[in-house]
Amino acid sequence: MNIEETITLLLVEDDRIDQRALLRVIEREKLPYQCETVETVAQAGALLNARHFDVVLTDYKLGDGDAFDIIRIAHNTPVIFITGLGSEELAVRAMKAGAYDYLTKDTAQHYLKLLPIVVNNCMKRRRAELEAQEMAQERVRREALEGFLRDVSHDLRTPLASLGTGLYVINRYAERLFTGLAETPNLPPAMLDQVTRLRERTSQMEDDRGRLEQIISDMLEMVKADNQTALHKVRYDLNALAQEVVDGYLNVAAENQQTLRFNPAPTAVYAPVAIGELSIVLEKLLDNALDYTPPGGEISVLVNDSGAAAEVTIADTGIGIPDEERENIFQRFYRIDKARSRKNGGSGLGLSIARRWVELHGGTIKVDSVQGQGSSFQVQLPLVEN
């Protein structure tokens, strides 16, 4: 329903003179109405069942009933009630019964001048009601999804944790068995081979379990980010925040044989920051930078005050992103190609979560990349004066 578009009116009026007067006004004033006229409650009921109308205009007394019958059968279609002079009390009753508005007839038919205003108000109100209804339904849907994901992830986390402990123990036994057997003289080669395979499989299962946990936690984070409309922010130095995050990745980078550098701005760069959420943003970007950069590559984190914004840039010398994929990667569950990732895992949710948290900071996130040479993700936040 759009008030700029043609409005479909159902006029329920058994007085032919009043019918014609109303249709004449619509024509003369070139009102954007498409009007259908009926004379009885039964005819109105049949038409309302068969078709959608934006508004019903109804006279009070009708051959087989009255306006109250029309209000009853109109259900979700707004009804405007036309009364005779001196019947305001009736109009009030009609409004209480569900009519949206009323027009009072006068002999000179001046009331028809009010028609467009009353109809427009009625449409605006209906539109606002529909929007409120949609928002309420959307809230219910989201709450249900959030509840479902919370329950499911809780149910999944418990066995996952026990799997984790079990696998850890089996893995350590396999390690010991392997070391013991490797030192045993005259061992049949098939036996060492089997233990080697056991060790590889259990370590792979540990990785898979970790990935599953990551996907569950990303799904929960996504629901949380979706439902949040504002963040609690404090004035915080981005140099300090980025330093903390980078420190948490030094070991992983070393294990991956990658160089991880941190280039802070020369002086503190203050921005309004929700510390937990912005840390997650930088973690997601660093996870990716490490994940999509081969051994020997370099990842650098740079904090900068451009004068217009506080910036954190995470650049890597990894595999890069094809031009045509640059916008897609921020969509939920979007992964360019599973085989591209070193870990061969991930939920495809990381960047959409990061973007949502950055937007709730009033900031932006953008990407530059040359395929085969590397990528650079930049987060820009509003500055706070020092």
Sign (positive or negative) of CA dihedral 145, 151, 155, 156: positive
Instruction: Point out which span in 24-32, 71-79, 254-262, 331-339 binds ligand ADP (CB under 6 A).
Output: 331-339
> What's the closest the beta carbon of residue 374 comes to ligand ADP, in angstroms?
8
CB-based burial label for 309 (10 Å; 0-12, 13-18, 19+): middle
> Counting contacts by CB under 6 A, is residue 123 touching ligand ADP?
no
Distance from C-alpha of 383 to C-alpha of 268, rounded to nearest angstrom: 11
> What's the closest the beta carbon of residue 358 comes to ligand ADP, in angstroms?
13
| Of the residues 101, 237, 305, 316, which one makes contact with ligand ADP according to CB under 6 A | 316
Are the beta carbons of 315 and 376 closer than 8 angstroms? yes
Instruction: Point out which span in 23-31, 187-195, 265-273, 350-358 binds ligand ADP (CB under 6 A).
Output: 350-358
Instruction: Point out which span in 87-95, 196-204, 258-266, 344-352 binds ligand ADP (CB under 6 A).
Output: 344-352
Query: Which parts of 246-285 interact with ligand ADP (CB under 6 A)?
Result: 284
| Of the residues 72, 93, 150, 340, which one makes contact with ligand ADP according to CB under 6 A | 340
Cα Rg of the chain, angstroms:
34
Kind and range of the H or E run holding 62: strand 61-62
- Centre a 10 Å sphere on the Cβ of residue 57 and count the other Cβ atoms it contains: 27
The residues pairing with 369 across neighbouring beta strands, listed in sequence order, are 375
User: Residue 289 or residue 381: which is nearer to ligand ADP going by CB?
Assistant: 289
> Counting contacts by CB under 6 A, is residue 292 touching ligand ADP?
yes
Size of the site for ligand ADP (CB under 6 A): 22
The residues pairing with 381 across neighbouring beta strands, listed in sequence order, are 310
Distance from C-alpha of 224 to C-alpha of 356, rounded to nearest angstrom: 10
| Of the residues 304, 318, 356, 378, which one makes contact with ligand ADP according to CB under 6 A | 318
> What's the closest the beta carbon of residue 324 comes to ligand ADP, in angstroms?
13
Q: By C-alpha distance, which of 222, 200, 219, 202 is closest to 157?
A: 219
Instruction: Return residues touching ligand ADP (CB under 6 A).
Output: 284, 288-289, 292, 316, 318-321, 329, 334-336, 340, 346-352, 375
